[in-house]
Amino acid sequence: MTSIVIPAHNEARVIGRLLDSLLAGAPESSAAGRAEDETDIVVVCNGCTDDTARIAAQRGPRVRVVEIPVPSKHAALRAGDDHALGFPRLYVDADVVLSAAAVRALAAPLADDASGVLATAPERRIPLAGCGRRVRAYYRVWQRLPAVRAGLFGRGVIAVSKAGHVRIAALPPLMADDLAASLAFTERERLVVGAAEVVVHPPRTWRDLMNRRVRAAVSTAQVEQRPGSEDDAASARTGVADLTAMIRREPRLLPSVAVFLAAAVLARRRARRAIGAQDFGTWLRDDSSRQN
């Protein structure tokens, strides 16, 4: 049985759309019990002060709701593991949209032990309608970066086999949990599944984009401070060579690259104080992507 763990902190505005998408094409239980390929869904409401738990519970018995008092994604993931029933296991952010068909596509490579694949993630679709001009320019570049295209991070979804779960369960609490999870596997052990797609809603405003980028800069620095992780984490950073090659291939992207570089420089400057203070707990939230 495939299990899905969804950590959710004050996600009342978006949890319903994710659950509706997951349930729309999922198999029903038979009269004799659970269907062989039924999906087990666990929503872990962590430190919620809104209606997240109530909205999730309204989706019926196929969604189990767990509530913990601490607003911590790491604690929510571990609580989800305690309640999840099977493998492969997916960890899904509450603010993305993923279908039941995509879940099956992500689980399929993990069911074959001979494949050597321990972790999968879907292709991402980022709808930019309604986003500011600079935000659209930023994502035109970001989506083309080799590390972004090949890594499992920045998708809001990662699926693991039982063996893959052992690998990520050993990770310490980190803000960049998806980056750390991606780096926990070699290129041969991880797979971006072309038949699966996740909708990742981007920030709509420059301010919210910067909140995300500052958080990314701080969390990447935290990953790099772990012994033995410096080189791996650095491989996920954008290099000048990547941007130069992109402009050579598509000269029209030059203005967008300028916006991308401006965002990167500003984010790193703003992140310095948090990194210097070793503040890896302040979560700069992007609320604009959660607007209907």
* For range 260-272, the mean pLDDT: 94
Nearest by Cα to 285 from 203, 178, 201: 203
Split at pLDDT 50, 70, 90, the class of 32 is very low
Q: pLDDT for 127-140, tens place per residue?
A: 999 999 999 999 99
The CA distances from residue 289 to 19, 126, 211, in Å, are 17, 11, 12
Query: At residue 46, what are phi and psi to the nearest 5 degrees?
Result: -110, 115
Q: pLDDT for 236-258, tens place per residue?
A: 667 889 999 999 999 999 999 99
Q: pLDDT for 199-225, tens place per residue?
A: 999 999 999 999 999 988 888 888 888
Each domain of the chain, given as residue ranges in start order, spans 87-204
* For range 10-14, the mean pLDDT: 97
> Regarding beta strands 39-46 and 2-8, do their DSSP bridges make them parallel or antiparallel, or are they unpaired?
parallel
* pLDDT reported for residue 234: 53
Query: At residue 77, what are phi and psi to the nearest 5 degrees?
Result: -65, -40
Q: pLDDT for 91-115, tens place per residue?
A: 999 999 999 999 999 999 998 878 8
- pLDDT, mean over the chain: 90
Give the dihedral sign, CA 171/52/18/219: negative
Residue 197 reports pLDDT greater than 70: yes
Q: Which pTM value belongs to this model?
A: 0.90
* pLDDT reported for residue 78: 95
Q: How far apart are CA 59 and CA 226, in angstroms?
A: 40
For residues 279 and 56, the model is more confident at 56
* pLDDT reported for residue 232: 58
Buried b (16+ CB within 10 A) or exposed e, 67-104: bbeeebbbbbbbbbbeebeebbbbbbbbbbbbbbebbb
Are the C-beta atoms of residues 243 and 257 closer than 8 Å to each other? yes
* For range 40-69, the mean pLDDT: 97
Buried b (16+ CB within 10 A) or exposed e, 194-226: eebbbbbbbbbbbebbbbbbbbbbbbbbbbbee
Q: How far apart are CA 128 and CA 135, in angstroms?
A: 8
